Amino acid sequence: MKFASTRGGVHGLTFEDALYSGYAADGGILLPESIPQISRDTLKSWAGLSYVQLVKKVIPHFVGEEIPSEDLNDLVDKAFSRFSHPDIIPIKKFPGGLNVMEMCHGITWAFKDLALSCLGQFFDYFLNKRKKHLTILTATSGDTGSAAIESVRGMTWVDIIVLLPRGRTSRVQELQMTTVMEDNVHVYRADGTSDDTDVPIKECFVDAAFAKRHNLCSINSINFARIMVQVAHYFYAYLQMCPACDSEVEIAIPTGGCGNVTSGCLARKMGLPVKLVCCVTTNDIVDRAIVKGDYSIGEVKQSLAPAMDIQMAYNMERIWHVFSDGDVEMVSNMMTEFEKTMMTKVPENLRAKIGEVVSSHVVEDEGIKRSMRKCWEENSYLVCPHSATTLHYHYSKQGSSDDPLRVCLASASPIKFEEAVVAAGLRYDKTDAVVKLYNSPTRYQDVEKDEDWVDILRKKIEDIEKRFQARNLA
């Protein structure tokens, strides 16, 4: 399997190359040059497999022979060894056709742990063999940062720099990043939105010479390896709901930057009979792109679901590439226009193709709170505000004549979001783990609006490289 940019200027990369990549040198992001196909007979043969077994089935289609199967299986087993539930992502079934896939049993209580636990193992595997140092540079809207940090903290061959939007994550989300004291972890709290933090990250990557010289890598959903691992949970959800493989399953997804949705789109293109629903907050660029073909930046509004407070859903570029059958010229032209004007129009034929598989649903804060309360009152089951957007969609469809088999993805644990639980009028009890976070020392650096964030990051990257070289010489 080889990998190429969505914009056509970079191609022929190996999986290891893709693992180390952020934005491609032409400004695009990576996808496989061809999408593997899973036959219906193969799909049926996977029914009854555990989630971890499915990960071991899906990943080799993208990794090929770069990691021998025995080594790959060991890496996957190690990646999921710290999860607190034996099924990793169990599906809870409630009355009224409500099926909730819990994706919050990893070390940071969010679905990002699923892919990032594997990426940490992949990094360790390749870098130990190459004796190579890597600097991971990532922005976060809330959950990616902590999961990324956990996946590489303390590693010899990796440093990680995380840029988070100060005051725009939950307190627990922030503390999961700022309480990490390992020397290879560097956290910045930026005075801006999640979209603002993406800009200096991209500027560092598109300077190809700088990125190559310092072995820069991204670990958010720009990194294709994350998209790859996430494909597996769509196969798991489908096979848990429809082991006979004889009908479609609808999957409702809390949506921000569209990384998780992209994985679902790839699963569909691989042959999985799923339809996808992007559940978004009032930061509705994804909804407007899907419904109207309007991909234009609006003002980022703070919601009760902070990890979804995004107006620049960069993985839409991948989705356009997938559904246009790899039309790199069209994708490149759209993104060039977008980057100049902060808006572009999705061609109607492409929008219609996407709409056959992907729909959308907008939820305001009041809807989030109502859904959290309804689920608690009916099932004594508490969900996080992001997950509540998928429940809101489910409740809106209850009783309709065409109500299909459906799974709602619960992307994070409610214990991370005291503010939203209290706002919904529900009781929030701090767990021992949360109390420990609140009482732990913190370490971070604040950056302000009037500072040059690109310059700050570049100097930090250069300092990390100097320290690594000095350590090696010693």
Positions marked active-site:
112
Contact status, residue 301 vs residue 283, Cβ threshold 8 Å: yes
State how far the Cα of 452 lies from the Cα of 307, in Å rounded to an integer. Answer: 25
Q: Angle, nearest 10°, between helix axes 69-79 and 51-58?
A: 140
Q: CA nearest 267: which of 237, 300, 299, 223?
A: 237
Report residue 165 as tokens: 């939007």
In the chain, the amino acid numbered 220 is: N
Task: For CA atoms 244, 238, 269, 77, give the dihedral sign.
Answer: negative
Do the Cβ atoms of 35 and 82 come closer than 8 Å? no
Q: How far is CA 318 from CA 146, 194, 400, in A?
A: 25, 20, 32
Contact 75, 66 (CB under 8 A): no
Looking at residue 182, its amino acid is E
Rounded Cα distance between 384 and 173, Å, is 13
CB 229 within 8 A of CB 79: no
Give dist(CA 407, CA 394) in Å, integer.
9
What is the distance of C-alpha 93 from the center of its chain? 25
Q: How far is CA 313 from CA 274, 302, 339, 340, in A?
A: 22, 16, 13, 16
Q: Is residue 223 packed enough to be buried (19+ CB in 10 Å), middle (13-18) or exposed (0-12)? A: buried
Q: Are 252 and 279 in contact (CB under 8 A)?
A: yes
Question: What whole-number distance in Å separates Cα of residue 455 and Cα of residue 458?
Answer: 5
* Element holding 185 (H helix, E strand): strand 185-190
